[in-house]
Amino acid sequence: MWVKQTLGEQRKLLSALLEPSMQEIAKCCTGEWYEEETLDTVLFEQFYRVPHIQLLYAIDKLGRQISANISTYGKDASYRGQDLSRRPYSVSLYPKRHFMLSSVYISQTTGQPSISAVQPVINEQQFFGFVV
């Protein structure tokens, strides 16, 4: 029983650590959402705002990646356009309108256990998608 409680407490702490940065990144993306290169630049400039991040990218409402992968290595546009709708964090996204942490899953890139922080990108008139 204490394990479940401890995991819940860790998720709350992680959310408190990541959510403010992810909200700011989402705000920065609203004006650039439909401009691929500009969106990549915004994500790249904001990457270091999020503590302990390994990867940052944007997905549309249907789970298609619309940005490059942003990491400490730079921008990798070869991932743009991939369908991420079946990823563990994507299955329960739409119509989520608030920050969430995924369940733990094994990263296809690193083979390591991972958690994704997912922030909706929304302005007053429109829901765009998510930054992950």
pLDDT digit string (tens) for 82-107?
998 887 666 555 556 789 898 888 88
Q: How far is CA 109 from CA 4, 31, 37, in A?
A: 28, 30, 23
pTM, rounded to two decimals: 0.89
Report whether the peptide linkage leading into residue 120 is cis, meaning its omega lies within 30 degrees of zero.
Answer: no
Residue in 129, 29, 24, 27 with CA at minimum distance from that of residue 85: 129
- Residue 4: its pLDDT value, please? 58
